[in-house]
Amino acid sequence: MAGFTTSDGLRLHYTDEGTGDPVLCLAGLTRNSADFKFVLPFLAGHRVIRMDYRGRGLSDHAQDYMTYSIPQEAADAVALMDHLGVARATILGTSRGGLIAMVLAATVPDRLNGAILNDIGPEISPEGMERIMDYLGTRPRFADYDSAATGLRTAYATQFPGVPETRWRVQAEMMWCEAEDGLDLRYDARLRDAMVAQRDAGPAPDLWPLFDTLASGPLTVIRGANSDLLTAQTLAKMHARAPSMRSATVPDRGHVPFLDEAEALAAIHEHLKDFA
């Protein structure tokens, strides 16, 4: 298993596949390197690096759960690039991964070759955030992957109409692991404690200056047409502040697109071709 050790002693898992210009894939809040399973076959010709954040996937859980933070995860991403000898990379950031990309643009801009954000911006819809907090840190109530697939298809029928149960089963396998008493989390449940403590510490920071820094380089944004996290209004504001930014909206998708949809793939391929 490929991994490296952080400055505070955690062993973090990663995968490093292919050759060509590096693409560093950064997953969503509770997700892991498997988050990019569906798009991976379409990234041939690039060196695709995927990491499990601390406390997620196959990476170690931190003793101090307050290190489950965007600044720390950004520092871990830089440490991974250093470990692999990668000077610059394009960031493909899903949700939280896109927020990490904004921090990287502000702290180590010379390490980025642009970014592709999957359904995330500098303003997060309160409704979407409330939905995430409702399930964060809670074990799924499914006995097995088959029942999970049915449950996911039902729960997301409005945001993801027409997605077959076979796709949801694969998604369930990526999100959860099997235990003796049903499915369990593939992340440290104390991630919720970190999120609550960070939320209660004060007002949310203004992310627009970070976005402006990120948008000074090549930037593409992919949005699910039914997203409850990145609204159409926020996307319009992003375009107004960054006229050179590209975007694509994926129909029949909420938060987040799988990234193997035709609209998402076209946006990804155009970005990687034009900003190599």
162 and 58 in a common domain: no
Domain edge (last residue) among 149, 167, 186 = 186
145 and 73 in a common domain: no
Neighbours of 135 (CB within 10 A): 12
Domain count, the chain: 2
63 and 182 in a common domain: no
**Cα separation of 47 and 3, whole Å?**
17
- The reported pTM is 0.97
73 and 159 in a common domain: no
Is the pLDDT at 271 greater than 80? The verdict is: yes
128 and 144 in a common domain: no
Give tens-digit pLDDT for 68-124.
999 999 999 999 999 999 999 999 999 999 999 999 999 999 999 999 999 999 999
Is the pLDDT at 1 greater than 90? The verdict is: no
The conformation of residue 205, written as its DSSP 8-state character, comes to P
Give tens-digit pLDDT for 18-51.
999 999 999 999 999 999 999 999 999 999 999 9
202 and 235 in a common domain: yes
Give tens-digit pLDDT for 170-206.
999 999 999 999 999 999 999 999 999 999 988 889 9
Say if CB 33 and CB 52 are below 8 A apart. Answer: yes
Domain edge (last residue) among 171, 186, 201 = 186
42 and 171 in a common domain: no
167 and 118 in a common domain: no
Neighbours of 217 (CB within 10 A): 15
Domain edge (last residue) among 118, 152, 186 = 186
151 and 105 in a common domain: no
Query: Which residue matches tokens 């939320």?
Result: 199
One-letter amino acid of 39: V
CATH number, domain with residue 120: 3.40.50.1820
149 and 23 in a common domain: no
Domain containing residue 215: 3-133+191-274
So what's the pLDDT on residue 204?
85
Short-list 28, 12, 9, 30, CA closest to 189: 30
Give tens-digit pLDDT for 138-154.
999 999 999 999 999 99
28 and 129 in a common domain: yes
46 and 167 in a common domain: no
Give tens-digit pLDDT for 239-252.
999 999 999 999 99
